[in-house]
Structure 1
């Protein structure tokens, strides 16, 4: 006798045709995976929006230049969120804060060097 299992999406019991089957229908599997993906996107949305905004600000400020120096207040006024970065990078003994392909180095006196990695 083949054991029935419970569909992860609907909770209905069904007899699987494969040993790794977890859903009664392919549509249930697709819907379940889409719901999980939507939950993940919603959980990350606020941070992703802030990262995207930070990246756009740095891209516009740099505007095809090798590097620029701007003040902390200038970046704040542009809407830059200093609390959200993608990673840190140690370059020549100095710690740079990065937003994707852009890096910021605190120079002191409220100034920051911005460069594209």
Structure 2
């Protein structure tokens, strides 16, 4: 049988299955954990900002259907306007969304916050 190189250690081994890429199960787990850690680390800053934005909007809206807040108020609360999950169009206006919450600039830097 042909030997192949373990993706984690680089050591040559003889695979027992045709799709085997690691010499041991432990190497496979370690390799996948390293990859997952790298992915989480790369996304951490954006995920943290999204979580902060969502928590701010959730707290402001509470049990209400909608609320109006100023740009200064949201900025003071720590809201990051450069981070959102998606945009939707409603009534001809583009709304910036953070998960299930939407912000619509209504006038003079006033934002209508609703739950979508």
TM tier, smaller: over 0.9
Q: Does 1:14 align with 2:13?
A: yes
CA distance in 2 between counterparts of 1:34 and 1:108 reads 48
Quote the RMSD (CA, aligned, Å).
Answer: 0.5
Q: State the 4+ residue runs in structure 1 displaced beyond 4 angstroms.
A: none
Provide the residue aligned with 2:77 in structure 1.
78
Q: TM-score, normalised by structure 2?
A: 0.99
CA distance in 1 between counterparts of 2:41 and 2:51 reads 15
CA distance in 1 between counterparts of 2:71 and 2:54 reads 16
Q: Does 1:114 align with 2:113?
A: yes
Q: Does 1:31 align with 2:8?
A: no
Q: TM-score, normalised by structure 1?
A: 0.98
Figure out how many residues of one structure are paired with residues of the other and give that number. Answer: 116
CA distance in 2 between counterparts of 1:24 and 1:11 reads 10
